[in-house]
């Protein structure tokens, strides 16, 4: 967590409430949780007042943080029911986290689904949460300037603000921002769930809340938020096209004047090989080659692979899904495991059939590949520290954090040139290498054999120590923390407030 407070007296503090379904360390399934648990600290360090509100899932009690009840209770309507909830709080340095407690909805094994099946009442769970956010503002006596919501789960909040609350003096002047972390997850439910929202049927039309006959939380957010952002400049462009727009490209294009693309950062106090408690040997840019050699040996031992300093060790960490291109890797792996002199380490969970393919590779070629079907932060750190190459052949990638984590640990990314991957990885062509800009390898098509050729290019470069060292140095010395992006969020908030309030804030 970013803990140092930078005092900037000249700043006019913006009050910001993040409403999200995830935030580390309390609840996360991926990048959304990482961002909502780290960006608030970066904004607070710039002198702003930032609070975060998420559901009180079962897991929040195991995050190692003190959580206390605020003694604040509320009741909201969810369809024909009235449902009660209460507010909890956890303070961490300069950011306060609030939790909406409603055990029937949130005290469950997982956040959204079990055994690959979404909870049948997900619509109801997040209608309740979104209404709870609006009530929390009143109860907490914290009226934000900016209500910053994230992804479909909080997509109704901007609609409630505009339709039901904006006439109240307390809420008037609050600007809403929706950040899209992944357009593929839209929160679509059958049309009768419109009744759960409590909003008038007149909003269920193709310009507002309806998407091909269904209720869409994300579209609702896109339509009603004052400002929209996504997590890289390239993805902000891509989602306005049919190829990446998932049917929402039209509505996004219609709002392009208020659509921002701001690159995610990583929390460099968590992702720092110099202080990382999980890795075999700590290192920095000066000691990276010795440090990584020790970490590589330790990783090979931990994963049961032969200890071979000479073989390139290729890694993948992430959701084992079509989006992340794990199927492309599975298509080329039989060739790689049979013919190429490289080792593989895979960590992830996801699609059951794909997981099974990877397990079978590990059973058949135990000398070449180790697979862990798990979600394990410490192991993710050890893999980034020990591997030589990190593969991320995503079909679409809003930003991608894992490639930035890899760079931070001196591991060379091989990525598909799309979305945030295109914004962060510069291919090792000779002119880029000579200019000190190259930090990885990229390819453009969805053809697995183009991935394979790019991996071969990476492995050939691995065998040219001078060039390889230069690539590692380029990557490890780049700054992918929030330092660059946090000020851009503030600019976006200020622009939002100027439009909403018609002032020169
Ligand atoms: P997405 O949010 O689309 O899943 P990102 O690359 O933006 O992908 O963020 C994924 C985050 O989750 C990264 O911090 C990554 O290290 C982490 N992560 C993904 N899968 C695992 C896993 N199996 N174990 C540990 N960490 C993981």
Nearest-angstrom CA–CA distance, 465 and 194: 60
Beta bridge partners of 259: 228
Pick the residue whose CA is nearest to atom 22 on ligand 1: 375
Q: What is the pLDDT of residue 502?
A: 87
Same domain, residue pair 469 and 494: no
429 CB within 6 A, ligand 1:
no
Nearest-angstrom CA–CA distance, 396 and 390: 17
Q: What is the pLDDT of residue 392?
A: 98
Residue 423: inside a domain: yes
Best probe residue, ligand 1, of 317, 348, 376, 404 (max atoms within 8 Å of C-beta)? 317
395 CB within 6 A, ligand 1:
no
Q: CA dihedral in degrees (132, 133, 138, 139; nearest 10)?
A: 60
**Residue closest to 126 by CA, chosen among 185, 169, 211, 205:** 185
Give 432 Cα–ligand 1 centroid separation in angstroms.
28
CA 72, chain centre distance (Å):
31
Q: What is the pLDDT of residue 1?
A: 45
Nearest-angstrom CA–CA distance, 305 and 301: 6
Question: 339-362 burial by CB neighbour count: b if 16+ within 10 A, else e?
Answer: ebebbbbbbbbbbeebbebbeebb
Same domain, residue pair 59 and 37: yes
400 CB within 6 A, ligand 1:
yes
Ramachandran class of 72: left when φ > 0, alpha when ψ lies in -120 to 50, beta otherwise = beta
Q: Looking at residue 153, what DSSP letter applies?
A: G
Residue 8: inside a domain: no
Which token pair is 466?
Answer: 């001078």
Q: What is the pLDDT of residue 3?
A: 47
Same domain, residue pair 47 and 163: yes
The pTM score is 0.93
185 CB within 6 A, ligand 1:
no
263 CB within 6 A, ligand 1:
no
472 CB within 6 A, ligand 1:
no
Same domain, residue pair 333 and 207: no
Q: What is the pLDDT of residue 115?
A: 82
Residue 179: inside a domain: yes
323 CB within 6 A, ligand 1:
no
| Residue 405 CA, closest ligand 1 atom number | 16
207 CB within 6 A, ligand 1:
no
Q: Looking at residue 240, what DSSP letter applies?
A: T
Strands 68-78 and 81-92: antiparallel
| Residue 380 CA, closest ligand 1 atom number | 25
Contact 390, 316 (CB under 8 A): yes
Same domain, residue pair 163 and 34: yes
Rounded to 10°, the helix 326-339/448-462 angle is: 50
Instruction: For residue 369, give Cα distances in angstroms to 129, 394, 411, 433, 458.
Output: 43, 21, 18, 30, 18
Same domain, residue pair 74 and 169: yes
Same domain, residue pair 158 and 42: yes
Ramachandran class of 455: left when φ > 0, alpha when ψ lies in -120 to 50, beta otherwise = alpha
Instruction: For residue 346, give Cα distances in angstroms to 278, 313, 371.
Output: 18, 11, 5
How many C-beta neighbours within 10 Å does residue 235 have? 28
- For 195, residues 6+ apart whose C-beta sits below 8 A from its C-beta are 79, 80
Q: What is the pLDDT of residue 328?
A: 98
Same domain, residue pair 450 and 489: no
158 CB within 6 A, ligand 1:
no
Give the DSSP letter string of 185-208: ---EE-GGGHHHHT--GGG-STTT
Same domain, residue pair 470 and 487: no
Residue 282: inside a domain: no
Domain span at 320: 288-480
- For 116, residues 6+ apart whose C-beta sits below 8 A from its C-beta are 352
Residue 1: inside a domain: no
Give 464 Cα–ligand 1 centroid separation in angstroms.
30
Instruction: For residue 361, give Cα distances in angstroms to 40, 379, 447.
Output: 41, 20, 21
Q: CA dihedral in degrees (334, 336, 340, 342; nearest 10)?
A: -120
| Three-class DSSP category at 309 | coil
What is the domain count for the chain? 2
Same domain, residue pair 456 and 494: no
CATH number at residue 301: 3.40.50.2000
Q: What is the pLDDT of residue 432?
A: 76
Same domain, residue pair 145 and 258: yes
| Three-class DSSP category at 209 | coil
Best probe residue, ligand 1, of 29, 180, 235, 318 (max atoms within 8 Å of C-beta)? 318
Residue 112: inside a domain: yes
Beta bridge partners of 175: 146
Three-state secondary structure along 249-293? HHHHHHCHHHEEECCCCCCCCCCCCCCCCCCCCCCCCCCHHHHHH
Same domain, residue pair 190 and 97: yes
Residue 166: inside a domain: yes
| Residues of the chain falling short of pLDDT 70 | 1-10, 503-505
Residue 250: inside a domain: yes
| Three-class DSSP category at 485 | helix
Q: What is the pLDDT of residue 2?
A: 47
Three-state secondary structure along 44-84? HHCCCEEEEEEECCHHHHHCCCCCEEEEEEEEEEECCEEEE
Q: What is the pLDDT of residue 431?
A: 75
Give 220 Cα–ligand 1 centroid separation in angstroms.
27
């Amino acid at each position: 967590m970013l803990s140092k407070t930078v005092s900037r007296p000249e700043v006019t503090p913006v009050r910001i409430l993040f409403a999200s379904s995830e935030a580390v360390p309390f609840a996360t399934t991926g990048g959304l949780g990482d961002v909502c648990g780290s960006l608030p600290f970066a904004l607070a360090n710039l002198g702003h007042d930032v609070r975060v509100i998420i559901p009180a899932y079962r897991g929040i009690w195991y995050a190692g943080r003190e959580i206390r009840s605020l003694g604040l209770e509320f009741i909201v309507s969810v369809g024909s029911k009235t449902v009660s909830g209460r507010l909890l709080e956890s303070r961490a340095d300069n950011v306060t986290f609030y939790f909406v407690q409603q055990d029937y909805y949130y005290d469950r094994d997982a956040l959204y689904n079990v055994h690959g099946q979404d909870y049948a009442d997900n619509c109801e769970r997040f209608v309740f949460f979104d209404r709870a956010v609006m009530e929390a503002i009143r109860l907490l006596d914290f009226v934000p300037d900016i209500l910053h919501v994230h992804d479909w789960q909080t997509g109704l909040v901007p609609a409630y603000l505009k339709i039901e609350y904006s006439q109240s003096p307390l809420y008037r002047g609050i600007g809403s921002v929706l950040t899209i972390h992944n357009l593929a997850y839209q929160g679509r439910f059958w049309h009768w769930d419109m009744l759960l929202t409590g909003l008038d049927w007149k909003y269920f039309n193709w310009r507002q809340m309806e998407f091909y006959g269904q209720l869409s939380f994300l579209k609702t957010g896109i339509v009603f938020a004052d400002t929209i952002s996504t997590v890289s400049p390239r993805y902000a462009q891509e989602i306005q096209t049919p190829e990446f727009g998932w049917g929402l490209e039209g509505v996004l294009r219609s709002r392009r004047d208020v659509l921002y693309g701001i690159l995610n950062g990583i929390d460099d106090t968590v992702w720092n090989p110099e202080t990382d408690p999980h890795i075999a040997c700590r290192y920095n840019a000066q000691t990276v080659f010795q440090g990584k050699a020790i970490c590589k040996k330790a990783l090979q031992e931990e994963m049961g692979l032969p200890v071979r300093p000479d073989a390139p060790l290729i890694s993948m960490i992430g959701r084992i899904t079509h989006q992340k291109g794990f199927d492309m890797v599975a298509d080329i792996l039989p060739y790689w495991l049979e013919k190429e002199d490289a080792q593989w380490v895979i960590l992830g969970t996801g699609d059951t059939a794909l997981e099974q393919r990877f397990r079978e590779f590990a059973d058949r070629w135990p000398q070449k590949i180790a697979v862990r079907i798990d979600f394990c932060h410490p192991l993710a750190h050890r893999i980034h520290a020990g591997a030589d190459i990190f593969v991320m052949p995503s079909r679409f990638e809003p930003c991608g954090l894992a490639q930035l984590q890899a760079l931070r640990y001196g591991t060379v990314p091989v990525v598909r040139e799309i979305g945030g991957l295109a914004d962060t990885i510069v291919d090792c062509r000779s002119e880029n290498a000579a200019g000190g800009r190259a930090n990885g390898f990229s390819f453009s098509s969805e053809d697995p054999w183009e991935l394979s050729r790019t991996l071969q290019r990476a492995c050939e470069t691995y065998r040219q120590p001078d060039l390889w060292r230069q690539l590692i140095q380029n990557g490890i010395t780049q700054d992918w923390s929030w330092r660059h992006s946090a000020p851009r969020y503030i600019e976006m908030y200020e622009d939002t407030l100027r439009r909403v309030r018609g002032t020169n804030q």
